[in-house]
Structure 1
Amino acid sequence: MTASIDDAPFLDITKPDFSMRSQEVSDARERSWFARTPYGVAVLRYAEVAALIRDPRLRQGSYAWPAHNNASGSWADWWLRIMLNREGADHIRLRKLANPAFAPKLVKVLRPKFQELANELIDKFAAKGRCEFVREFSEPYATRVICLLLDADQNDWEYLVDLAMQMGMALGTTYEQDQDEINEATDKMFDYCRKVVSDVRARGLDDGFIASLIRANEAGEEALSEEELYDMIVLAIFGGIDTTRNQIGLGMDTFIKHPDQWALLGDRPELARAAVEEIMRVRPTVTWVTRETLEDLDYQGITIPGGTTVHMFSQAACSDPRAFDNPGFDITLERKNHFGFGLGPHHCIGHFIARGDMTEAMALLARRMKNPRYENEPKFLRDSGNTGPLTMPVVFDPEA
């Protein structure tokens, strides 16, 4: 048992070749429930992550990212305002107002459209028996799902994905030097959202996502302000594109390495929901969740000083043999909750939509893409922080 922070193993998560799935991380997890990193403390085991991720003595930690990078401008201003980085009563108010827009009933309405979209994309390459999976499926699928959510023109998807990718550079190590491009993309994204809201208001409010948020903007004294309305929509676009694209790609990579599980899913599409949960357990796009201690935190005999960044290593925690008798990939087993959508007050508000669109995609892909394998070596983002595939040249048995 580690007796102090200084005695804990050290993981240099800044190294270009650092991997959350490395033996180094597994060894550190066996030695201690936490490790030291250049950014603070990393929690490695399932039980400790499950406890601390809900602990009120910690707050959402990502709010400090712009300051860490000496960055300013429209992206930084938006990042500090959004619900993700608000706490207490203000966070509760925003979440309560936004909840109806993200309710499960919306997924039920959109499910046939998710299926139609997935089939349309697969139709373009099914007979060829090959595709560049990111470019031809996961990226357009994730972005066009957002277009469905916004009730926007499906042809806008390439414009939106470009803006989201430029904004996403703010979460990388080059944020400070790229901030002019990042801020320009953010301004354009807000302009796009203003047009979407204007169009919906002109047509009249229905039961859709944007209409629900507009109603929250008109809900009385505690209503969403006009700025908060656009902040919420930009967050839905930015988060929905990046995470869904990456998670579907990581799912395909996992199944390529487990062909028996892919064949099983193709035969039993009712396992698609469980498959999404299992993918997010073993290969999440969000490999850690960030918190910050609000005060000196005494936990298991260790004192973590106030103001310390605490990364909850969800990737390591969800393969912890203390919590999973068989931590390998198996879509037929009932599992403990994963942390891919977070837990506690900051649990991802869009998880119903993400689960719904990924479930429909995985079921149809497994049915129509038999025996997938790589034609050439795929390329991935670094295996830490937010990760995902850059290119995935996949071949499979052509559809007759």
Structure 2
Amino acid sequence: MTAPYFDISDPAFSVQSPEVRKAREAGWYARTNYGIAVLRYDEVSRLLKHPRLRQGSVKWPEHHGITTGPFASWWANWVLNKEGEDHHRLRRLMNPAFSRRLIGGLVPRFRALAGELVDGFAEPDRCEFMAEFAEPYAARVIAIMLGLPESEWPVIARDSATIGLAMGVTIADDLPKIEAALASLYGYVDELIADRRREPRDDFVSRLVLAGLDGAGRDGTGLDGAGLDGAGRDQNRLSHEELRDSMILLIFGGFDTTRNQLGLAMQTFLKHPGQWGLLAERPELGGAAVEEVMRVAPTTTWVTREALDDFTFEGLDIAGGTTVHLFTESAGTDPRAVPDGRFDITAERPPHFGFGGGAHHCLGHFVARCDMSEALPLLARRMRDPHPGGEPRSLPLSGNTGPVALPIAFTPATSAP
């Protein structure tokens, strides 16, 4: 049987389309203009950890003719796009910034921020959810973590959203705007690094900056040659370039994921009002609500890998260099993994792939889980009986997706305790 074919570069393509659902029932994969797409839960789960696959997004700019310039350089330096010892070294040095103690200490501030934003809605019984809640919440969480004035959130939101265009199929056309936004965020990052080198604090940025000072002087000059790898890199610290590039990734990734995922959560709960009411009554289900939303409506609709060399998987010969798209949304809604097909925040579900998996599991997943699990129960208590308040607009249902505009009408409740 010939595998179905999808043009996933077409902005009209949807991972939720009947064609994709039909293909999933017919077999575990489809062919695309960028390689193959994996559609079922079991195969996605196994391929995420397959030793013959590497992270595949490294070639995304190249697919669109972008091989040089500031954006191409930044993209190539992501921890996400590194492999082997280089990848492990970067994760090891960056992990202390994401400690549960450090992030957990910010949870009360996240909760207060959510209440403040709901109190500030322009109208008491309706809001434009993305502009009035999702964007400022995601951007101000980043500002809180970085120790920036929260009043700077519009700049963080604007530049991060612009860089997010790089995840779409119009990346080549958007490149000038993307590189301008990248330059703007580098300005913020350079000031933060200089400040924490002068005066470290017990915060997120200082942890990252200190990872760049271990075994080095404060000017970044190595004290000796111990610990250098074959490329002359100090295995015990981040280089200045790695530090800058990693901080930009964390700003962009933290904003983009949280904003989009909050919007997708609201869209999902609008279709399931009983679950929204249950969340209002049982705020302890906030964490489970995040997981269930990300199972059925992840902002990252596919995770990309690339074959290191030729190998055979489930009878399919995969040539070295082949791009393999692991469709996280299709896997999460696969009836072989979730037979009841319901959206249920109280149900036990297999792990979703919204944060990737294997060696490249999202470094900031704990932050995203914390801030969203605080926001959703508060919203459920404050915004009763939500329903569409106008026409929504969304990004294409492929790549990284989410609402652009989401008007919601609701019955206001009193301030949450």
* Both proteins in one fold, TM over 0.5: yes
What's the CA shift string for 1:36-91, capped at 9, x where partnerless?
Answer: 11111000000000000111100101111221112231111000011010000000
* Structure 1 partner of 2:42: 47
2: CA distance, partners of 1:151 / 1:399: 32
Aligned counterparts, 1:241-280, within 5 A:
241-280=255-294
Aligned counterparts, 1:139-288, within 5 A:
139-202=135-198, 204-220=199-215, 221-222=234-235, 223-288=237-302
Task: Say if 1:164 and 1:241, in contact at 8 Å, map to a contact too.
Answer: yes
CA-CA distance at 1:177 after TM superposition? 2.7
Aligned counterparts, 1:1-400, within 5 A:
7-71=2-66, 72-125=68-121, 128-202=124-198, 204-220=199-215, 221-222=234-235, 223-400=237-414
> SS at 2:105's partner residue?
helix
In structure 2, list runs of 5 or more residues that go unmatched: 216-233
1: CA distance, partners of 2:278 / 2:153: 32
2: CA distance, partners of 1:126 / 1:359: 24
Sequence identity percentage: 52
CA-CA distance at 1:8 after TM superposition? 1.1
2: CA distance, partners of 1:183 / 1:110: 31
> SS at 2:7's partner residue?
coil
Change beyond 3 A, Cα 1:345–1:232? same
> SS at 2:6's partner residue?
coil
2: CA distance, partners of 1:168 / 1:15: 18
Task: Say if 1:126 and 1:369, in contact at 8 Å, map to a contact too.
Answer: no
Moved more, 9-18 or 390-399: 9-18
Report how many residues are paired.
Answer: 394
2: CA distance, partners of 1:75 / 1:86: 16
CA-CA distance at 1:171 after TM superposition? 2.3
CA-CA distance at 1:11 after TM superposition? 2.1
Q: Please, what is the CA RMSD of the aligned residues?
A: 1.2
The TM-score with structure 1 as length reference comes to 0.96
CA-CA distance at 1:185 after TM superposition? 1.6
CA-CA distance at 1:167 after TM superposition? 1.7
What's the CA shift string for 1:101-147, capped at 9, x where partnerless?
Answer: 01222221000010111111010128611000000000000000000
1: CA distance, partners of 2:153 / 2:406: 20
Change beyond 3 A, Cα 1:180–1:14? closer
Task: Say if 2:9 and 2:169, in contact at 8 Å, map to a contact too.
Answer: no
2: CA distance, partners of 1:175 / 1:28: 28
Task: Say if 1:40 and 1:308, in contact at 8 Å, map to a contact too.
Answer: yes
Task: Say if 1:166 and 1:181, in contact at 8 Å, map to a contact too.
Answer: yes
The TM-score with structure 2 as length reference comes to 0.92
Task: Say if 2:163 and 2:181, in contact at 8 Å, map to a contact too.
Answer: yes
1: CA distance, partners of 2:272 / 2:316: 40
> SS at 2:5's partner residue?
coil
> SS at 2:245's partner residue?
helix
In structure 1, list runs of 5 or more residues that go unmatched: none
> SS at 1:170's partner residue?
helix
